[in-house]
Amino acid sequence: MIKLIDKQRIILMNTNEGKSQRQISMELKIDRKTIRRCLRQYEEKKNKLIETDDGNDNCLLISDICQKPKYNSSSRKKVKLTDEIIEKIKYYLDENQQKRATGRSKQTKAKIDIYEALVEDGHDIGYTTVCNAIREIQREAKEAYIRQEYLPGKVAEFDWGQVKLKIAGRLTVFEMSAFTAAKSNYRFANIYHNQKTEAFLDTHANFFEDVGGVYSELVYDNTKVAVAKFVGKNQRQATDELLKLSIYYGFCPRFTNVAKPNEKGHVEKSVEFIRRKVFSKRDEFESYQEAREYLKDELVKLNLRPQILQNGKSAQDILAEEKEYLLLKPPRYDSARIAERRVSKYCCVAIDNCYYSVPDDLVGQFVLTKIYTDKILCYYKETLVAEHLKKYGNYEWQINITHFTKTLKRKPGALASSVAFSQTEPRLAEIYHKYYRGCEKSFIELIELTSKIGICRVEAAISELNTICPNSISTDKIVTICQRARYQPEDKIAKDDCQIEHASRQILDLYGKLLNENSPVLTGVR
């Protein structure tokens, strides 16, 4: 195959210099047949160009005259890639497709496996030829994307992404929820310990509170917390929690097609954008709450950045214009996950592999639990019976010792070594070690008193007893002193103490002045 420069030399030497094909062949060391073919094609196309008047044909002829020489390989037949081999390759590809449809995608044949199978069947063929044949069989037209123009207040997109942070020196994986408004590119995000329903509901409620309204359509992918099941090939059924959420706020959920993240491309890029812009600068924090506050502050800065495609307007500016098109926002949604649990013999309910105590008279009963991202509320017959901070480990116990007073009265010896006592208020444990060792029954009564009036009043009563009879501290005396104080609120007691102290100081100052005026020593009288 001659090059383009060889074609140019052949034509110019023949037309301009008048050299024969033999002379050109000798000088350029190119076969005469090649030179003859090159000159013949040039003359034919040039004559045709002169004869035709069609502009489109002229452009094509000009392009053919000036293009690089090439062989016409359309009529060539494949020597080793026979029809039999092609049929076998198609068979293996169909087999792979059937395995994927039945959940055996990890047992499909790769290209190298198909090649080896063909070689084992006795076919003489190369690996590259097999790869090219598979690529040709599986070749599909590239998908064309259609740019969308979004109406104000119409569409927002949601997605999850992971972020790794060091909290108090420990590397922890968090789930980051992200919303992006399609019109303004306004971004909102939160970080959670998991992708459970309570986190899903909480981040939606926070997003609507942040933007001050509700978008009429929210776009989701096929996350489990949003999709209950597939109905047919393309239809999805939303989870009950998402349906309740959409009814309350009035938005319409829409799901993307399977494996089509481009259908919510705003938020797909936002997850990566937020993670990179926010946590590439800092990813170590003292607490989980500090990390959330940092994310919130950084999002404010990102949403104030000018956008080139929006004529220099920031996402915050466009959101301000969108607000009049948003749906009215109702009061904040109760983002709890509801579950009914039976109380175990340890007076605890199990939630997400952790255990939370309830009053010991509810053993064997069912309680209604409301699970939030940061706390657990337990109800029995519509009455709140327990409240705990949520734990995120495995097989951790959250015990309130006041829930076990009835049982401990019958088994006081179990107090000191119980998990409930190890998790009790440190100040209450200190009182036990100082005054109640060996008096567990009396201490259990003190626990009941503390649950009613608070640890501060109990400590104040003990302090008063220490001034009167330090060697005789008992629950009965503490109760007597607290009753004498008529169970005034702690803030009122503190206020009264301040008033008494102030009045006392005024009286002392007055007496001091009188003594100074009437004292014979101070007046010089002996």
Q: Which bin fits 190, alpha (ψ -120 to 50), beta or left (φ > 0)?
A: beta
- Read off the pLDDT band of 140 (50, 70, 90): low
Q: Average pLDDT over the chain, rounded to whole?
A: 82
pLDDT digits (tens, 9 = 90+) for 399-433: 888 888 888 888 887 777 787 778 887 888 888 88
User: Long-range CB contacts (< 8 A, 24+ apart) of 159-162?
Assistant: 159/220, 159/221, 159/264, 159/267, 159/268, 159/270, 159/271, 160/195, 160/223, 160/271, 161/271, 161/272, 161/275
**Look-up: residue for tokens 């008494």?**
500
pLDDT digits (tens, 9 = 90+) for 74-110: 666 677 888 888 899 999 998 888 887 777 777 888 9
Task: Answer positive or negative: Cα dihedral of 47, 52, 55, 60.
Answer: negative
- Alpha-carbon gap, residue 455 to 341, rounded angstroms: 31
pLDDT digits (tens, 9 = 90+) for 319-369: 999 999 999 999 999 999 999 999 998 899 999 989 999 998 999 999 999
Which burial class, exposed, middle or buried, applies to 55 when counting CB atoms under 10 A from its CB (0-12, 13-18, 19+)? exposed
Q: What is the pLDDT of residue 510?
A: 66
Q: What is the pLDDT of residue 36?
A: 87
Highest mean pLDDT among 77-81, 236-240, 464-468: 236-240
- pLDDT higher than 60, residue 188: yes
Torsion of CA 504, 510, 511, 514, to 10 degrees: 180
294-320: burial string, b at 16+ Cβ within 10 Å, e else: bbeebbeebbeeeeeeeeeebbebbbe
Q: What is the 3-state secondary structure (H, E, C) of 145-165?
A: CCCCCCCCCCEEEEEEEEEEE
Q: What is the pLDDT of residue 441?
A: 79
Q: What is the pLDDT of residue 9?
A: 83
Q: What is the pLDDT of residue 486?
A: 55
Q: What is the pLDDT of residue 259?
A: 56
pTM: 0.63
Segment among 90-94, 119-123, 229-233, 273-277 with least mean pLDDT: 229-233
Here the tokens at position 10 are 């052949």
- Read off the pLDDT band of 524 (50, 70, 90): very low
More confident residue, 316 or 233: 316
pLDDT digits (tens, 9 = 90+) for 146-161: 666 778 889 999 999 9
329-343: burial string, b at 16+ Cβ within 10 Å, e else: beeebebbbebebeb
- pLDDT higher than 60, residue 142: no
